[in-house]
Amino acid sequence: MIAELFYRRQALILGTLSMIGLLVFWQIAVDGGLINPFFISTPSEVWTEFLAQFEDGQVGANVGATLYCFVWSMGLATVVGIVLGMLAGWFSDVEAALEPFIWFKYSAPTVAFYPLFVAWLGYGTPTIIAIAFLFALTPIYANTLSGIKNTDRDLARAARSFGAKPLDVFLQVALPGSVPVMMAGLRLGVGRALTGVVVAELFGANAGLGYAITYYGQLMQTTKMMVSIVIVILLGVILTQILSFLESKTDSWRVDSGR
Amino acid sequence: MAQIEIRDLGIDYRKPKSNEVFSAVDSVDLSIEKGEFVTIVGSSGCGKSTLLMAMAGLVNLSRGSIRIDGKEVTGPGRDRAVVFQEASLLPWRSVRGNVKFGLEMQRWSGGDLNERAMQMIRLVGLGRFSDYHPHQLSGGMRQRVNIARALAVDPDVLLMDEPFGALDAQTREIMGTELLRIWERHKKTALFVTHDIDEAIFLADKIVVMGRNPGHIKEVINVDLPRPRDEAVLDSEPFHDLRKRLRAHLAEDMSSMQLVKEVA
């Protein structure tokens, strides 16, 4: 019975065990004097500090500021990425015209544009949103593009045989067929947008998780800094999981369960 | 005049790399009467599917013309519907959604779409499965949906491109009988491409035998087997004679294939 349960959930159980193992090792290594707590703090201290920061409203304020930028940047990247991706996937001329920019985006680190955005938008929220937007844009654009471009030719032909106009083929065949790939792009985009927000906050902000990390980092208050790092990790996991869930909802028709 | 008139038809393709032109179909003349069931048979590469797709208006003609009821074919039209080989159902739509698809594309105005679709789904024997999705159906059932989708738009001509090609022999035979049962009801003009000799004879009033290099018509054979037909006809004397005749044709093609080394 327990063995069966173990096999069914093997990956989850092993993953959880290794996480707990790491936390225990971390705590013991510091308590036993193997590592100086200055460098890494301890799980118990981080937890205590988390409760304290939660109580005095810091956690709420930082998470709120980060999520605000995240939602804006992800929202913009979703709209722009999907619209451009659809145009480029459908019209090969648009794809060719956009290609160089995508190359730039792939080869140059987006953070390199940071000073430019500061010059245009100043320190703070607008610049953070702009950087995170650029972080998230590429996978959303690229996935939408490939989804539309790789429209099943047989399906498109079948539609045309019934007199479908190009717009019908786009709306009824290309678009619904691309939804799962687009969702995968959004899932990647969510991770990138969060990274973008936090990275931009590290450089210049007056609130947010990234800001808290640099702030306490410069003060060498490792425990306080670790609280925000852990929250960033959890936030990333939760947001990505939500998107994975939505993704699995939209491509149920791709599962070949009945064959 | 016959319902479908094909005159001196030629279809050329340009090979993508070498830019070399090759003829998929050449000098095809064919007349098909209203209500006839015509099968087109030939070995692979004889242009039989290309010919069908040209009738569907999905392929550009290089020479000659195709007229249906006197009207020149320049593209897909409401007078025709195509049943494709396989996997041409929209995987995200249910059986009913797929059957409605053709009606939606044609901006069907002949009454309630749902009702029309359900009627066709029942006709092909899938009444209980109207809410299923294609991935939940067997290959044979999927092709029934494909047929229902084509019949739903009430075409004058039904074009079928090896619709049972991916099915096992058993299912294939059942589907052939089913197809005839459905066809007997309306006797729409039907064109059916296949490489299966028995299937070609079993279904046909008229068999068009095609050969390769370039695709052309070798012979048109009339089939005088009585209708309605069932599996018993497969063992009859005339059926055996026809089978022998078709085999000889295809064997000839196979041997010429070995002489001319094809560059795919």
Q: ipTM of this model? A: 0.88
**More reliable by pLDDT, B79 or A110:** B79
**More reliable by pLDDT, B92 or B16:** B92
**Weakest-pLDDT range from A115-124, B114-123, B224-233:** B224-233
% chain A with pLDDT above 90: 76
Q: pLDDT confidence of B264, banded at 50, 70, 90?
A: very low
Mean pLDDT of B153-176: 92
Q: Which two tokens stand for residue A258?
A: 């009945």
Number of domains in chain A: 1
**More reliable by pLDDT, B83 or A108:** B83
A10-31 vs A43-55: helix crossing angle, rounded to 10:
100
**More reliable by pLDDT, A122 or B16:** A122
CATH number for position A145:
1.10.3720.10
Closest CA to B180 of B156, B204, B159, B164: B204
Q: Are B86 and B165 in contact (CB under 8 A)?
A: yes
Mean pLDDT of B110-115: 86
So what's the pLDDT on residue A255?
Answer: 54
So what's the pLDDT on residue B232?
Answer: 87
Q: Does residue A4 surpass a pLDDT of 80?
A: no
Mean pLDDT of B107-122: 89
CB contact under 8 A, B82 and A258: no
| Segment A41-83, tens digit of pLDDT | 999 999 999 999 999 999 999 999 999 999 999 999 999 999 9
Q: Are B122 and B145 in contact (CB under 8 A)?
A: no
Give the one of A154, A256, A257 whose C-beta lies nearest to B88's C-beta: A154
| Segment A153-173, tens digit of pLDDT | 999 999 999 999 999 999 999
For residue A172, what is the DSSP state?
Answer: I
Q: pLDDT confidence of B258, banded at 50, 70, 90?
A: low
User: Residue B55's closest chain A neighbor by CA?
Assistant: A161
Q: Which residues of A touch B77 (CB under 8 A)?
A: 163
| Segment B180-211, tens digit of pLDDT | 999 998 889 999 999 999 999 999 999 999 99
Is A199 domain-assigned?
A: yes
CB contact under 8 A, B84 and A162: no
**What residues of A are in the B interface, CB distance below 8 Å?**
152, 154-155, 157-164, 168, 172-173, 176-177, 179, 253-259
So what's the pLDDT on residue B259?
Answer: 56
- How confident is the prediction for chain B on average, in pLDDT? 90
Q: Does domain B33-57+157-264 have CATH number 3.40.50.300?
A: yes
CB atoms within 10 A of CB A106: 9
Is A142 domain-assigned?
A: yes
Enumerate residues 112 to 141 of chain B having a beta carbon within 8 A of any beta carbon in chain A.
133-137
Q: Does B59 touch chain A (CB under 8 A)?
A: no
Mean pLDDT of B144-160: 94
Task: Assess whether the previous peptide bond of B76 is cis (omega < 30° from 0).
Answer: no
Is A98 domain-assigned?
A: yes
Q: Which two tokens stand for residue B121?
A: 């789904």
CATH 3.40.50.300 residue spans of chain B: 33-57+157-264
CB contact under 8 A, B84 and A158: yes
Q: Which residues are paired to B216 by β-bridges?
A: B211
Q: Are B195 and B212 in contact (CB under 8 A)?
A: no
Q: Which residues of B touch A176 (CB under 8 A)?
A: 90, 92
Mean pLDDT of B36-62: 93
Q: Does residue B163 surpass a pLDDT of 50?
A: yes
Closest CA to B78 of B59, B45, B56, B111: B56
Which are the contacts of B244, defined by CB distance < 8 A and separation ≥ 6? none
Q: Does B168 touch chain A (CB under 8 A)?
A: no
Give the one of B88, B105, B134 whose C-beta lies nearest to A163's C-beta: B105
Task: Assess whether the previous peptide bond of B214 is cis (omega < 30° from 0).
Answer: yes
Give the one of B88, B135, B136 whose C-beta lies nearest to A158's C-beta: B88
Mean pLDDT of A230-243: 94
Mean pLDDT of B41-46: 88
Q: pLDDT confidence of A259, banded at 50, 70, 90?
A: very low
Q: Which two tokens stand for residue A182?
A: 């687009």
Q: pLDDT confidence of A258, banded at 50, 70, 90?
A: very low
Q: Does residue A229 surpass a pLDDT of 80?
A: yes
% chain B with pLDDT above 90: 71
Q: Which residues of A touch B78 (CB under 8 A)?
A: 163
Amino acid identity, position B119: Q
**Weakest-pLDDT range from A117-121, A202-206, B123-127:** A202-206
Domain containing residue A78 = 42-248
The number of C-beta contacts closer than 8 angstroms across A and B is 64
